[in-house]
A = this chain, B = another copy of it.
């Protein structure tokens, strides 16, 4: 049993998996733009002559653009993902693939896997540390990425699970989110990825005055909402304004001696700083964004690794987002009905995806979308977003550098903000103000072919992404 499930080569592991043409394979994206495993596996599958596979990955990054060739060759026949970088996105938007891409959310994906909507035949789990029986973690090793939360449902539910690691450690690897009872084979390779692309260093506070202004308003909104009290829970992202808001919020919580309950996410060093300063009792972490988060989840028992199911699955009996007070989210576009687009750029070309955006918006008591009025000389507020990623009914406030617009469905919140002196703006006025500076945006004509389906977290189709011309 010393060698356990270790298989000499990736090819042998694939042969033993019983993978056949037409089946579905899966990957996680915790190695982000440093991932080497998806490319390695697809190259091997191509060499072995496979055809027409469904590729289900929690995200697709630019480093994975060899996918394009594998689509062209016929190896990859369908793609399902929660996020797609601009390189592969451009290819898809230009009609490079016969079958539309299926977008899900970070909560909808594990739900669909568990419920047999998208059953995984063979899961490939890139693991920064694994033992010979397949227990695996992302917390340790030269390719450490922290949480492996998005890989848990894949490993647990796949018919066959292959762990690929560059750091084989002695049995038993104790702190294993990916557990041996689900794993069929372990393949040891020289490298699962490029550490430079896996995590960023600790991010410095932005100096952008627009971002700083929005961050201050965001914190004002949170304070005025009445949620910022003992037990407060919080999620924010890794963008400049989000990180700045976390920093400002930390100062407020410390000054006012507010003891929050938990921070959720998508975790950065800024959130870890809040934990260490005593702002929160714990961090529930489905994904680490930087080195600070990776070190913390490894060393601090209050920094807890959670599965994507526990994070955000809509068919779980509850999940962490259901208990969330305030969330700060970004937007590529937001329309006057508060619908948010994070899937496509202003030309309609795919360059993103929901990730956890729509899950968090649905769960949080206060969902704040932070976006500048104008980005790259284009207005962010529009009459109608190019693509609906997150429905407006789940968005409470838009914060811009020109004030906050409150969803008309949240009159209670509008009153609170007004009372607290937060600068309130009507979303139509924000749109007009932006267009005054940029002119009305000229929407490029789009094709009629559906290149991607956007599935809401409950697996209903919320939008359709059309080809670009």
Q: Which residues from 317 to 333 on chain A have a C-beta closer than 8 Å to any C-beta of chain B?
A: 317-320, 322-323
Residue of B nearest to A264 (CB): B172
Check B181 against A4 for contact (C-beta < 8 Å).
no
With A262-B172, A281-B170 given, is the CB distance from A133 to B181 under 8 Å? Answer: no
If A134-B317, A171-B262 touch, whether A323 touches B281 (CB-CB below 8 Å) is no
A residues sitting closer than 8 Å to B (CB atoms) are: 1-2, 4-5, 133-134, 161, 170-172, 174-175, 179-184, 231, 261-262, 281-282, 284, 301-302, 304, 309-310, 313, 316-320, 322-323, 365
Min distance, Cβ A228 to any Cβ of chain B, angstroms = 15
- A323 cross-chain contacts in B, Cβ below 8 A: 1, 4, 133, 171-172
Q: Are B317 and A184 neighbours in the complex by a CB distance under 8 Å?
A: yes
Q: How far is the CB of A179 from chain B (nearest CB, A)?
A: 6
Question: When A and B form their complex, which 5 residue pairs have the shortest distance between CB atoms, in order from nearest?
Answer: A181-B316, A174-B304, A180-B318, A174-B282, A133-B318
Give the docked Cα–Cα distance between A317 and B178 (Å): 12
Name the B residues within 8 Å of A171 (CB-CB).
Answer: 261-262, 323
Q: Is the CB of B282 within 8 A of A172?
A: yes
Establish whether residues A180 and B310, one from each chain, have CB atoms under 8 Å apart when the complex forms: yes
Contact of A310 among B170, B179, B281, B317 (CB under 8 A): B179
Instruction: Evaluate contact between A318 and B183: CB separation under 8 angstroms.
Output: yes
Give the Cβ gap from A73 to chain B, nearest Cβ, in Å. Answer: 32
Q: How far is the CB of A52 from chain B (nearest CB, A)?
A: 27
Residues of B within 8 A of A319 (CB): 180-181
Residue in contact with A301 in the complex, picked from B1, B174, B181, B183, CB distance below 8 Å: B174
Shortest A77–chain B CB gap in Å is 28
Report chain B residues within 8 Å CB of A174: 282, 284, 301-302, 304
- 21 A-B residue pairings within 8 Å (CB atoms): A1-B323, A4-B318, A5-B317, A133-B318, A170-B231, A170-B261, A170-B281, A171-B261, A171-B323, A172-B262, A172-B320, A174-B302, A174-B304, A180-B317, A180-B320, A181-B309, A181-B317, A181-B319, A182-B316, A183-B318, A184-B317
CA distance A181 to B317 in the complex (A): 5
Extra 19 A-B pairs, beta carbons < 8 Å, given A5-B317, A181-B313, A183-B318: A2-B231, A4-B318, A4-B323, A133-B322, A134-B318, A172-B261, A172-B262, A172-B282, A172-B323, A174-B301, A175-B301, A175-B304, A179-B310, A180-B310, A180-B316, A180-B320, A181-B316, A181-B318, A301-B301
Chain B min CB distance to A323 (Å): 5
Known contacts A180-B310, A181-B310, A310-B179; A317/B172 CB under 8 A: no
Q: Is the CB of A317 within 8 A of B175?
A: no
CB distance from A105 to the nearest CB of B (A): 16
Closest to A184 in B: B317
In the complex, how many angstroms separate the beta carbon of A155 from the nearest chain B beta carbon?
10
Closest B residue, CB atoms, query A259: B170
Select the residue from A161, A261, A318, A322 with max chain B CB neighbours within 10 A: A318
Chain B residues with Cβ under 8 A from A316's Cβ? 180-182
- Residues in B with CB closer than 8 Å to A161 are 317
Least Cβ distance of A149 to chain B in Å? 12
Residue of B nearest to A230 (CB): B170
